[in-house]
Structure 1
Amino acid sequence: MKTQLQDVNNSATLYFADGSKVENLQKDLEGSKISLSEMSPYLKKAIVSTEDSDFYRHKGVVPKSIFRAIISDVTGIGAQTGGSTLTQQTVKMQMLSSETTWKRKAVEIFLAMRVDKYFTKDEILEDYLNAATFGRNNKGQNIQGVQAAATGLFGKNASDLNLAESAFIAGLPQSPSIYTPYDYSSDGTRGKFKDNISLGLKRKDIVLYRMYRDNQITEKQYNEARNFDLKSDFLKPAKESNKKIKYGYIYNLLTEQARTILIKRLVKNDGVKYSDVKKDKNLYEKYETQADTELHNKNYKIHSTIDKNLYVAMNQQAQQFKANLGTTHTDNATDPTTGKAIKVSEPVQNGSVLLDNKSGQVLAFVGGLNFKKSQLNHAFDTQRSPGSSIKPLITFAPAIENGLIGSQTMLADFKTSFNKYSPTDYGQTIQNRFVSARETLEESYNIPSVNLYNYIQQHGVSSKKYMSKMGIHLSDKEYHQLGITLGGTANGVTVLEQASAFSTFANKGVHVDPYVVTDVTDPSGQSIYHHKGSKKRVFTKQTSYIIKNMLHGVVTKGTASALSYEANFNTKNLFGKTGTSNDYRDNWFIGSTQGMTLASWIGYDNFYGNNYNLSSNSTDINQELWANMANALYKEDKSVFNTSESFTKPAGVKTYKVDKETGTLTGSIGYNGITTKVNQHTTNSLYYKGSPSEMSYSDFAIGGKSKNYKLFWDNYFGRDNGYAVVKQLGENSKSTSELANENGSGRTSGFSNSTNSNESSEVVTNSASSTSSTNTNLTDSTTSNGTSETGTGSGSGSSRKSSSETETTDTTSGGGSSSTGDTVSSSTDTAGSPSLE
């Protein structure tokens, strides 16, 4: 009770994981606590005479006043005094919510009597004078406590107030907004005098009269104080001084999450369902305001998962690399608030998340590259097309889980059309051959992925079942569009959501909900929130192992192979996936070890209707940024990565020796009337359920057509017929090798499935020479939702815009005032997709 009564001039404190302070929330009320002995005797007498003349005689409440207030409230007759003593007012301010119910009034009366029993009158009066609000100061700020009132109105300490000044301050609590002499300027950065301050001056005279009536002052003092020129005594309006917030993105994130925690608690205490409150905008705003008031004026403590050293290291790398991310565009725009023409700059933004796989803790993140210009948190709050980074989650893992494919199952990559939807691979190309599931992920081909997604849908496999468990929620309409496997979502996903879903594979198929706030304690030190982890089994450990094994090839020889030399740590147990949406709108890389998942997204916000895209080598750029961040994080704390833990193959993962070209068991086929044995190249294929099919002339590949099989076998037996020669659609003038290099592929020709230490795709050749068409294979896919006849369609994404994200004159992407870009001085594209046939 003592803690609550004395909890004034405070605000919530935010903490890093190690207990060091991030920041105190900015207070809605300016003020500082002082003792009763530091207050003018006039002030104490003025408050008692004005607010509670029986203060020193009653026991916390005055029954007659309560009864009079009840009659007045019921009948509407009489003065609306409320019947509250100074003790009751103190209890109401410091210990209760602002609701006006009979139950709360009863609690107020009960607590007032207890306070009066255990505390002296001077202690109660001191608490009141420190907690009460007194309107605005000369800077336009809301003020709390008599010390803030004295310094903010008259420029002196509360101990030095004269009688007239004391009477004016004592009159303010009844209606601070009406009696205060100051207001705030239109821009909210400075104070200004009200046009009419006569009401406050009249209230001062009433206070003086009550003091004279109670024999607290003489008639001479009364008359002198009434005639005192108080108006000229007020301070001149001034500008509010800036306050620096060192970790702006953390500050906003923790404040937002703590607010939600308090809202849920307030709702629960009122016996209301949170889901119902969310549906009622006005009701939600009521609870939101109440929670905000608590956080900004009470000493709550919010403890987070954010590792300070990792956060600083990660953001420093983002700051150092931001000049390499791409062009900062400058353009004219219209301010949506003022309607005025402004000049805006659009830099490439980054959102990144470092996640502890086992616990779900967010250890560090990059919210953006310049908090001063944009407070939008690109790691938590922007939804963007995930591009091909969604493929293993939505298509390949469900296919393996249900026994529809093994790692070497062949998928068709030929020109095709699904009800006018004609996907292509990267750069509007077609591989014109059969591609293994493993190589499809390594090189991020689109057409095989679409064929596989179509196949699992036809076999009744629901991707929604798995995605929802991983925290990604899409509509039924989206799941019925083939382009969803390439990232063609309606609204997109956040970096946190994508990182968290991806961490499921490292967790051996178990998804752990991500979180940032660990604990919240109230001003009395009582814990009101403690995070309780939530885990869901999504995939079996067998499926997860196979996916990790396949995705390891992405970083050894696929679209992220540059990491094999850019990373300063052992990548033997690293797996990952790239993703690019249409026209280089978004670029992703998500990489995991057994210990952590690090996801990085880059792209333009495209506020004000602009349509800026990344450069064609954005995959290389994003991977280099990812590597820089990962190297700095690894240097800071190697244990987070846990690179030494290998992908242990669990019991139940079956390895089959299959033919390299068909993905089937070796065997014989009939070709031109001759039975021929096919076993020239073999490799291992991993299965959880099911097994490779027998060798056959046709039907060995998902999505294959008769003409595709004929083309394949004719080429296999020596005919130069264009099989595996990459075809390019559209008017792209770049060569296939140029396109491949742009997208970071480590492959240039020949078989993608070279030998590696994880038994991922070793190839055995049964003859001294092998014949296969040399071809250059293109890489990372573009997002598709199936709107283009010959291309890959159009990706989609959206950014939730903050209220002050753009400065009107800056033409660079320069950072904030700290090396993390996180310090400030504070005062979608959408397109439709065809349905499956």
Structure 2
Amino acid sequence: MKNLWNSIVNWFKSIKSWSDFANKANLTIEIIRRIVLYSIAGIFIILSLAVGLGLGYVSALTNQVNVPTKTEMQTELQDVNNSATLYFADGQKIESLQKDLVGKKVSINEMSPYLKKAIVSTEDSDFYRHKGVVPKSIFRAVISDITGIGAQTGGSTLTQQTVKMQMLSSETTWKRKAVEIFLAMRVDKYFNKNEILEDYLNAATFGRNNKGQNIQGVQAAAQGLFGKDAKDLSLAESAFIAGLPQSPSIYTPYDDHGRLKDDISLGMKRKNIVLYRMYRDNQITESQYNTAKNFDLKSDFQKPAKASSKKIKYGYLYNTLTEQARTILIKRLAKNDGIKYKDLVKDDNLYQKYWTQADTELHNKNYKIHSTINKSLYVALNKQAQEYKGNLGSTHTDNATDPNTGKSIKVSEPVQNGSVLLDNKSGQVLAFVGGVNFKKSQINHAFDTQRSPGSSIKPLITFGPAIENGLIGSQSMLADFKTSYNGYSPTDYGETIQNRFISARETLEESYNIPSVNLYNYIRQHNVHSKKYMSKMGIHLTNKEYNQLGITLGGTATGVTVLQQASAFSTFANKGVHVSPYVVSEVTDPSGKNIYKHKETKTRVFSKQTSYIIKNMLHGVVTKGTASALSYEANFNTKNLFGKTGTSNDYRDNWFIGSTDGMTLASWIGYDNFYGNNYNLSSNSTDLNQELWAKMANAVYKEDQSVMNVNTSFDRPAGVKSYKVDKETGTKVGSIGYNGVTANVNQHTTNSLYYKGSPEDMSYDDFAIGGKSKNYKSFWDNYFGHSSNYGNVKNLSNSSKSASTLAKENGSGRTSGFSNSTNSNDSSQVITNNSSANSASTESAQSTSSNGNTESGTGTGGSGSGSGSGSKSSISSTSDSNTSKETESTVTSTDNQSSNTSADNTASDSTQSNTTDTTTTPVTSE
């Protein structure tokens, strides 16, 4: 500071005269003038660059925008008071989505002149002078974005606001703002001001009406607030309505129940601001301004009224299509913002943001959602479910605590049904049953509930992989004797043990548990991983689940949906190719542009040879096994029908899945047990579910026979080999040594189908998977007529019922040992058109069978992760203690243990919740 002062003093001292002073002063002034001029020029250049950068920025952001045509813009701008529409496969309308907003479109000539003037003065006083945007707004937006002070600039013109409401999503990014500016200029180019103003006044939201409904458009506002048409509004009323769009929830006079708020002063103050701006713009006189300002509107507001409710005819379908369409829009919105869906679902807050955007779009814009649902088939399936629901089991009534209010309420628990009809070749969901009473439960039991699949999973997870890898043929023998894997002791239906060797074919036909567990353990010993196949079919389980032997009985931690199980099962009908299922075929936006079209996804899972053999074996389920009742319940040709039953522990879940060449129909029944109850199905639930399945299948066949293709047989492909084998051992005929004597074993023969591998040579003690030395001794003693317990069914339960009664009740008809009858031509194989398949066509399990059709079984101890020596004659247990039951019971899974049991039935106590978030640990058994 001192130096500065000294410099000034020295400068004055250097002045010799007034002339010298003047010269120096002029020089200083000139320097200052030039500095100012250069500064102004610099600022101008910087501003020009900023504007240029801003315009360039806008241009870059909008460069990738699809430029809409005038017709497309007109359609979107005028798309008010609409919502998405849902359609059946043939184009028939299902329903329009219920709107969040109520309103009615009117022309600008049907609006009060006061209203039009009020809106313009309040929202955009330069509306009639600008070209859609105000340049200073663009500059302000660029500066805002560069400095980071907000991502939104505000001050949008009426044109921009209309574009934002009608043509864009509600996101608040600068990119959207740039597109908004671009489209606003385009709209202003193609449409006159009255057209734009009309679109705005019909699209804007104006708070709530006297029924508590959100309102859209000035006509709905006029009727909902003042009980008159928009053309009849007074100046004060027009000003009040014009003030609402700035903050509808704050200024609206009504609450969400349609009651007038105690304090409406903010809305009144806003009305006065609107009136002042009209007066300022010379739209009204001072006298009009004062009169309207002092007018008390409170007495003009409508009294509260009750809103009428709309009944949805196809509730489950409505919700399913809405949910799936919303997900499609969420993915599209996220993709437009450069966000991957898999990353989006990991961020709850971000996902909720896009969920809200997509939901708003669907409920307020005219999207068209086209589905795969066949109307006549959907109606037919649901009609059968409604007519039969009273036969499925008791409806339990009990007191419970409402989780939302904490109050005691009375609840009823009916037996629920979830069914899916799938087109095998395309993956289209043709019809489904979501539940038995939409009014009482909106949960979709076909798509959203996860339950134990019971024994219906056996062909998918165990037998398919075993045949694919050449580990068994259709007549390979599996042990059904008392066994234990580290404390996990599976049993068959009714806690029984068959005490005999059972063929792979019969195991599936009668859904025995112990042989299935032995086989699953065997394929794991041979490094065959079921996960490889299950994942390709759309069923994703954890490694922990795969390591537990009870998984082959349905002992999952979370369960599967009916759609997943139907889709996976259809893989066999598709010759080993899985086709991803879908219900939404395409989506078009309000302008008619297609924004989504389903792309077919096919994945090879099994060879066509394996698929044929599995179909061949599963045909026996409906001819002589656990679903044999279908042979007389079905009103169509069942020669080419194959299927599988499934029941979880304690009759918690019951399944039947049946396929023909054309379709797969899966039906599940069970209780929801929402309130901690423990209701189970009756012991004849398999009979009941099969009868329901038959009724639905008959209805489908009556409506459209081509859907089922029941007369199309499954041709035997090249590569499927048929071998003549000994019926009791599943091996080639030959001789063995018994008590020092060599004996020929060739009394009874049958045919065994293989894809890879071939039958082994006859042996004394190495022909059955899971067999032990004492089992073989018992077998040969019985075979040669010596005293033996072989084939005597052992009942481990406390029930006093006989083995035959349990067998009939639980669906497994085979209670005796192997048949000593002569070879017959009874065949459980699918009829083939291939004349070269004559050897296989005589294949038969040839054992006597009483036609039962429910399944159940239990297991004790841990769920078992088996392993063993790998030899078929002896299987040692492995580590992993997981409790489980097998039979028609379910298993609960904890962090340390999980139950796996099955006999076409297993489901854990936790399996009863019926949402996707539910954990189901069912195990199945038949």
Q: 1:121 aligns with which of 188, 193, 205?
A: 193
Q: Normalising by structure 1, report the TM-score.
A: 0.92
My pick for the range that moved more, 751-760 or 715-724, is: 751-760
Q: 2:488 aligns with which of 414, 421, 432?
A: 421
Find the counterpart in structure 2 of residue 19 from structure 1: 91
Confirm or deny: 8 A CA contact 1:381 1:800 kept in the other structure: no
Deviation (angstroms), 1:342: 0.7
Q: 1:472 aligns with which of 536, 539, 543?
A: 539
Find the counterpart in structure 1 of residue 216 from structure 2: 144
Could you give the per-residue CA deviations for residues 300-347 of structure 1, whole angstroms, max 9, x where no partner exists? 000000000000000000000000000101111100011001111010
Could you give the per-residue CA deviations for residues 464-509 of structure 1, whole angstroms, max 9, x where no partner exists? 0000000000000000000000000001000000000000000000
Tell me the secondary structure at the aligned position of residue 489 of structure 2. Answer: coil
Pairing 1:357-756 to 2, within 5 Å after superposition: 357-745=424-812, 755-756=826-827
Deviation (angstroms), 1:71: 6.3
Structure 2 residue 241 is matched with structure 1 residue 169: yes
Find the counterpart in structure 2 of residue 93 from structure 1: 165
Confirm or deny: 8 A CA contact 2:570 2:664 kept in the other structure: yes
One-letter code of the match for 1:565? Y
Rounded Cα–Cα distance in structure 1 between residues aligned with 2:329 and 2:848: 64
Find the counterpart in structure 2 of residue 276 from structure 1: 343
Rounded Cα–Cα distance in structure 2 between residues aligned with 1:774 and 1:109: 78
Find the counterpart in structure 2 of residue 319 from structure 1: 386
Find the counterpart in structure 1 of residue 258 from structure 2: 191
Q: 1:109 aligns with which of 175, 181, 186?
A: 181
Deviation (angstroms), 1:67: 4.4
Could you give the per-residue CA deviations for residues 42-62 of structure 1, whole angstroms, max 9, x where no partner exists? 111111111112211222122
Deviation (angstroms), 1:66: 4.8
Find the counterpart in structure 2 of residue 249 from structure 1: 316
- Identity of matched residues, %: 81
Deviation (angstroms), 1:5: 1.1
One-letter code of the match for 1:647? F
**Cα pair distance change 1:66/1:670, threshold 3 Å:** closer
Rounded Cα–Cα distance in structure 2 between residues aligned with 1:167 and 1:320: 58
How many pairs are equivalent?
A: 797
**Cα pair distance change 1:536/1:64, threshold 3 Å:** closer
One-letter code of the match for 1:755? D
Could you give the per-residue CA deviations for residues 563-589 of structure 1, whole angstroms, max 9, x where no partner exists? 000000000000000000000000000
Tell me the secondary structure at the aligned position of residue 609 of structure 1. Answer: coil
Find the counterpart in structure 1 of residue 29 from structure 2: none
Structure 2 residue 852 is matched with structure 1 residue 780: no
One-letter code of the match for 1:780? E
Rounded Cα–Cα distance in structure 1 between residues aligned with 2:581 and 2:629: 29
**Cα pair distance change 1:562/1:774, threshold 3 Å:** closer
Rounded Cα–Cα distance in structure 1 between residues aligned with 2:149 and 2:155: 14
Rounded Cα–Cα distance in structure 1 between residues aligned with 2:149 and 2:166: 30
One-letter code of the match for 2:855? D
Confirm or deny: 8 A CA contact 2:628 2:851 kept in the other structure: no
Rounded Cα–Cα distance in structure 2 between residues aligned with 1:339 and 1:760: 64
Tell me the secondary structure at the aligned position of residue 178 of structure 2. Answer: helix
Find the counterpart in structure 2 of residue 354 from structure 1: 421
Rounded Cα–Cα distance in structure 2 between residues aligned with 1:425 and 1:239: 59
Confirm or deny: 8 A CA contact 2:326 2:358 kept in the other structure: yes
Deviation (angstroms), 1:216: 1.7
Confirm or deny: 8 A CA contact 1:509 1:540 kept in the other structure: yes
Tell me the secondary structure at the aligned position of residue 675 of structure 2. Answer: helix
Confirm or deny: 8 A CA contact 1:138 1:238 kept in the other structure: yes
Rounded Cα–Cα distance in structure 2 between residues aligned with 1:685 and 1:676: 23
One-letter code of the match for 2:329? L
Tell me the secondary structure at the aligned position of residue 422 of structure 2. Answer: strand
Deviation (angstroms), 1:98: 2.2
**Cα pair distance change 1:773/1:433, threshold 3 Å:** farther
**Cα pair distance change 1:362/1:670, threshold 3 Å:** same
Confirm or deny: 8 A CA contact 2:649 2:922 kept in the other structure: no
Rounded Cα–Cα distance in structure 2 between residues aligned with 1:589 and 1:764: 22
One-letter code of the match for 2:684? N
Rounded Cα–Cα distance in structure 1 between residues aligned with 2:609 and 2:272: 82
Deviation (angstroms), 1:670: 0.8
Q: Which has the higher contact order (CA 8 A, sep 6+)?
A: 1
Rounded Cα–Cα distance in structure 1 between residues aligned with 2:590 and 2:674: 41
Deviation (angstroms), 1:227: 2.4
Could you give the per-residue CA deviations for residues 452-473 of structure 1, whole angstroms, max 9, x where no partner exists? 0000000010100000000000
**Cα pair distance change 1:679/1:150, threshold 3 Å:** same
Find the counterpart in structure 2 of residue 3 from structure 1: 75
Tell me the secondary structure at the aligned position of residue 432 of structure 2. Answer: strand
Confirm or deny: 8 A CA contact 2:112 2:230 kept in the other structure: yes
Could you give the per-residue CA deviations for residues 724-755 of structure 1, whole angstroms, max 9, x where no partner exists? 01110020222222222223456576768970
Q: 1:342 aligns with which of 380, 405, 409?
A: 409
Query: In terms of Rg, which structure is larger?
Result: 2
One-letter code of the match for 1:379? A
Rounded Cα–Cα distance in structure 1 between residues aligned with 2:684 and 2:589: 50
Confirm or deny: 8 A CA contact 1:560 1:745 kept in the other structure: no
Tell me the secondary structure at the aligned position of residue 568 of structure 1. Answer: coil
Find the counterpart in structure 1 of residue 267 from structure 2: 200
Rounded Cα–Cα distance in structure 2 between residues aligned with 1:358 and 1:678: 45
Q: Please give the root-mean-square deviation of Cα atoms over the aligned residues, in Å.
A: 2.3
**Cα pair distance change 1:53/1:631, threshold 3 Å:** same
Deviation (angstroms), 1:129: 0.3
One-letter code of the match for 1:346? E
Find the counterpart in structure 1 of residue 116 from structure 2: 44
Find the counterpart in structure 1 of residue 901 from structure 2: none
Rounded Cα–Cα distance in structure 2 between residues aligned with 1:798 and 1:221: 70
Q: 1:83 aligns with which of 148, 155, 164?
A: 155
Rounded Cα–Cα distance in structure 2 between residues aligned with 1:300 and 1:182: 30
Confirm or deny: 8 A CA contact 1:66 1:82 kept in the other structure: no
Tell me the secondary structure at the aligned position of residue 493 of structure 2. Answer: coil
Confirm or deny: 8 A CA contact 1:486 1:783 kept in the other structure: no
Confirm or deny: 8 A CA contact 1:387 1:782 kept in the other structure: no
Deviation (angstroms), 1:101: 2.9
**Cα pair distance change 1:457/1:781, threshold 3 Å:** farther
My pick for the range that moved more, 230-239 or 579-588, is: 230-239
**Cα pair distance change 1:774/1:523, threshold 3 Å:** closer
**Cα pair distance change 1:773/1:114, threshold 3 Å:** closer
Find the counterpart in structure 1 of residue 298 from structure 2: 231
**Cα pair distance change 1:32/1:109, threshold 3 Å:** same
Find the counterpart in structure 2 of residue 811 from structure 1: none
Confirm or deny: 8 A CA contact 1:425 1:445 kept in the other structure: yes
Tell me the secondary structure at the aligned position of residue 491 of structure 1. Answer: coil
Tell me the secondary structure at the aligned position of residue 370 of structure 2. Answer: strand
Tell me the secondary structure at the aligned position of residue 696 of structure 1. Answer: coil
Tell me the secondary structure at the aligned position of residue 323 of structure 1. Answer: helix
Confirm or deny: 8 A CA contact 1:385 1:783 kept in the other structure: no
Find the counterpart in structure 1 of residue 127 from structure 2: 55
Confirm or deny: 8 A CA contact 1:736 1:777 kept in the other structure: no
Rounded Cα–Cα distance in structure 2 between residues aligned with 1:773 and 1:619: 21
One-letter code of the match for 2:545? E
